[in-house]
């Protein structure tokens, strides 16, 4: 699995903000799982968790497949929410009737709870993307990994108004057996990707579109970003790709759980 570069200037600010958070105890309140998996019917917004209900564990293997089957595509949006770009992505997804999975950084969710709630209200799913997006967290202790996952889960759930993340995506794909098992025990399926659009590097809209068209045979889960800098190219690439892929007979859904 491709690993993103760790030297992102935007994340230096996030890490600084997150240091105090990650010193919290690893114990987290018990939250219920987000509303059930989407079937062939149109997905609906998940209901808030009921206090005191148990979490149902899920498989600890890294998911890539789509609930929509062989012609399904999973749009995944990483690193937000961002006050500039997340609303634009949401508008575009609404325009084309597409549901996506938003992999949120804990400190970003904490800073923009209104956007987390908008994502949920639009029927999209949430994914835990750690507290501080440390792409080398697989080299850190299990205690550190646990804090990154559990604190982000708590932050995202609180920001959403009680809707839990259904997936866990390790920053840069830095999964470990421990992190996968922990996430799965909390009802969050480890989530990979098949197509890295490289949109974070801003290679140009044409290049992003070409990457998707070239690599889509590798699998259905596409990786885009709604934070970390100017995402104009991402928005424009999605504007081209969503109707084009629909015309080709693909349907948009969520990753398997």
Catalogue the active-site residues. Answer: 78, 225
Angle, alpha carbons 219-224-226 (nearest 5°): 160
Cα 150 to Cα 11: distance, rounded to the nearest angstrom: 19
Residue 221 burial by CB count (10 A; 0-12/13-18/19+): exposed, middle or buried? Answer: buried
Q: Residue 78 forms beta bridges with which residues?
A: 103, 225
Residue 19 burial by CB count (10 A; 0-12/13-18/19+): exposed, middle or buried? Answer: exposed
Give Cβ neighbours of residue 181 (< 8 Å, ≥ 6 apart).
60
Give Cβ neighbours of residue 221 (< 8 Å, ≥ 6 apart).
63, 64, 65, 66, 73, 74, 76, 191, 192, 193, 194, 195, 255
Q: What is the Cα 153 distance to its own chain's centre?
A: 12
Q: Give the SS3 label for residue 125.
A: strand
């Amino acid at each position: 699995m491709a690993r993103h570069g760790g030297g992102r200037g935007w994340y230096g600010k996030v890490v600084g903000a997150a240091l105090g958070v990650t010193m919290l105890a690893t114990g987290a309140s018990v939250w219920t799982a987000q509303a059930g998996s989407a079937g062939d019917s149109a997905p609906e917004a998940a209901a808030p968790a009921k206090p005191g209900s148990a979490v149902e564990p899920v498989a600890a293997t890294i998911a890539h497949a789509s609930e929509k089957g062989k012609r399904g595509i999973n749009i995944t949006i990483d690193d937000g929410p961002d006050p500039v770009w997340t609303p634009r992505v949401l508008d575009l997804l609404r325009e084309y009737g597409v549901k996506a999975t938003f992999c949120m950084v804990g400190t970003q969710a904490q800073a923009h709870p209104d956007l987390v709630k908008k994502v949920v209200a639009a029927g999209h799913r949430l994914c835990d993307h750690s507290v501080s997006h440390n792409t080398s967290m697989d080299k850190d202790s299990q205690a550190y990994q646990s804090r990154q996952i559990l604190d982000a889960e708590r932050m995202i759930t609180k920001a959403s108004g009680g809707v839990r993340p259904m997936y866990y995506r390790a920053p840069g794909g830095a999964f470990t057996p421990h992190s996968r098992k922990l996430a799965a025990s909390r009802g969050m399926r480890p989530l990979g990707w098949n197509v890295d659009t490289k949109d974070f590097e801003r290679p140009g809209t044409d290049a992003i579109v070409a990457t998707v068209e070239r690599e889509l045979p590798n699998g259905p889960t596409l990786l885009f970003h709604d934070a970390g800098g100017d995402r104009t190219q991402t928005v424009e690439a999605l504007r081209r790709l969503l109707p084009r892929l629909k015309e080709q007979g693909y349907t948009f859904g969520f990753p398997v759980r």
